[in-house]
Structure 1
Amino acid sequence: MNATDRTPADLLRSALAADPARPLVTFYDDATGERVELSVATFANWVAKTANLLQDELSVEPGDRVALLLPAHWQTAVWLLACSSVGVVADVAGSPAVADVVVSGPDTLDAARACSGERVALALRPLGGRFPQPPEGFVDYAVEVPSQGDRFVPYAPVDPEEPALIVAGREFSGAEVVERARAEAPALGLTGPGSRLLSGLPYVTWEGLGAGLYAPLATGGSVVLCRHLDRVGEEIVAERVESERVTVTAR
């Protein structure tokens, strides 16, 4: 990664320039058996499409707040980087009532209705599938995102010193996210390119976000993100560590 990277979106652009084909996010859902692997290029494409959806279809502007009512999931990681790309504040598990936009999984739709702005629903089905019946009052992400552009250019430059992330009640600028991810990477066992971290931590704390996305991205590593990891035994976890060539775990 480049020393000049100041936002999470900068980190992704550097990763794309360095090695677009390498894996970045591998996702397991141990409740459904789903496994998805996204290369840097594929992940960046989803981020660009989602950022275009935010900027052009949902009309968000830098400084707006996007409440993310989503679990630790590859699509949540996409939304976090899309928010960074546009310059809006990703408020993880934040209050929909004070958000300009809410992005909800299928289990939090009732709570998300408190948002008076745009509402986006994610089915979180395998392969990014859509809802069988779109939730009333919501845009179905899986329906809207495929038609968005594959390249993203923000209308206004993103200021790395402006608020970018709120998690567990704490606010971080884009620069602070990058700095903290870099600083904490060695303690997580991330030593640089080739490091591969398996995380079973939720995304509702900084620790979960750092291990499950930002620190691997900041060090040229990759993450094996596991949802519902508590539903499988240690033998399965050990087999996954071996098959995925994991170098360090955070659980």
Structure 2
Amino acid sequence: MNATDRTPADLLRSALAADPARPLVTFYDDATGERVELSVATFANWVAKTANLLQGDLGAEPGDRLALLLPTHWQTAVWVLACSSTGVVADLGGDPASADLVVSGPDTLEEARACTGERMALALRPLGGRFPQPPAGFTDYAVEVPGQGDRFAPYAPVDPDAPALAFAGSGELTGSEAVEQARTDAAARTLTPASRLLSGLPYGTWDGLSAGLLAPLAAGGSVVLCRHLDQLAPEALDQRREAERVTATAV
């Protein structure tokens, strides 16, 4: 974390400069048994590629609103920071009909068709796999993102005082407000660079996004992000905490 960071994307850049090799996001899906661990460098590479896709191929501009219809997932975290990198407003669970573009998982495709702009679909398969058959009317993220550049530069500087995050009509934050609130949450949870926060909270609210990404990032720590955590037995959760060296929990 750097005192001059004013957007969520700034937090990631500071983490990359400090220690690119350390783990940042460890993701579990307890419905499928998937586990993925991404270092700061690997996560930042996904963010850069996604931001290039967003700014270039999709033609998104600062101030555009992106309805992000994805569950708690490491790829959702990537999209949040790609939006922050480009000045696009990430509206988690937002209305596709009023959005400039939409990013959907496999379970929300029909809802996402209400968007008249660009539509991107994620299969959410292990290792970022593609759809066996691309859904009609959507671009398959897993097909398009690998060819994008590994470095990203916005066409125009991102305004930290412009809207950056929205939560389906239940609140909106600028980039600088998101960073300040993430720092406040990190302090309240006594997070440090050594902290590993396990979160099973949904990303559709500030509390979920903060615990599952932004507060650990602001503290220089890491997150163990869990989807379908309700399918895990209590003793298995205890084993995960021990195996992942978890220091704090948000469920």
Shorter-chain-normalised TM-score: which range? over 0.9
Aligned to 2:179: 178
Q: Aligned partners of 1:71 and 1:235: how far apart in 2?
A: 25
Separation in 2, partners of 1:249, 1:189: 12
What is the deviation of 1:184?
1.3
- Residue of structure 2 equivalent to 1:137: 137
Give 1:31's aligned residue: 31
Paired residue secondary structure (2:42): helix
Structural mapping, 1:88-107, within 5 Å: 88-107=88-107
Q: Where do 1:140-155 residues align within 5 Å? A: 140-155=140-155
**Percent identity between the aligned chains?**
78
- What secondary structure, in the 3-state scheme, does the structure 2 residue paired with 1:180 have? helix
Match of 1:245 in 2: 245
Q: 1:120-149: CA deviations, max 9, x gaps?
A: 000000010000000000000000000000
- Supply the AA of the counterpart residue of 1:40: V
Residue by residue, what CA displacement relative to the aligned partner does 1:225-250 show, whole Å, maximum 9, x if unpaired?
00000001111100000000000000
1:57 to 2:57 alignment: yes
| Number of equivalenced pairs | 250
CA deviations on 1:193-219 (whole Å, 9 max, x unpaired) are 011100000011111001000000001
Letter in 2 for 1:145: V
* 8 Å contact kept, 1:100–1:115: yes
Structure 1 CA distance, aligned partners of 2:215 and 2:167?
A: 16
Query: Per-residue deviation at 1:187?
Result: 2.2
Aligned residue number for residue 216 of structure 1:
216
- Any conservation in 2 of the 1:121–1:138 contact (CA below 8 Å)? yes
Deviations 1:166-224 (A, max 9, x none): 0152010000000000011122241x101110000001111100100000000101000
Residue 127 of structure 2 is matched in structure 1 by 127
Name the CA distance, whole Å, in 1 between partners of 2:190 and 2:240.
18
Q: Do 1:188 and 1:250's aligned partners in 2 also have CA atoms closer than 8 Å?
A: no
| Rounded Cα–Cα distance in structure 1 between residues aligned with 2:232 and 2:193 | 29
Q: CA deviation at 1:45?
A: 0.1
Q: TM-score, normalised to structure 2's length?
A: 0.99
Contact kept? 1:87, 1:164, Cα under 8 Å: yes
Deviations 1:76-120 (A, max 9, x none): 000000000000100000000011110000000000000000000
Task: Please give the alpha-carbon distance, in whole angstroms, between the structure 1 residues aligned to 2:249 and 2:35.
Answer: 18
> In the alignment, which residue of structure 2 is the partner of 1:204?
204
- Look up the match of 2:40: 40
In 1: Cα distance, 2:206 partner to 2:97 partner: 22
Counterpart of 2:60 in 1: which secondary structure?
coil
- Alignment of 1:21 with 2:26, yes or no, is no
Q: Tell me which amino acid in the other structure corresponds to 2:173.
A: F
Unpaired segments ≥5 residues, structure 1: none
Name the aligned partner's letter for residue 47 of structure 1.
V
TM-score by length of 1: 0.99
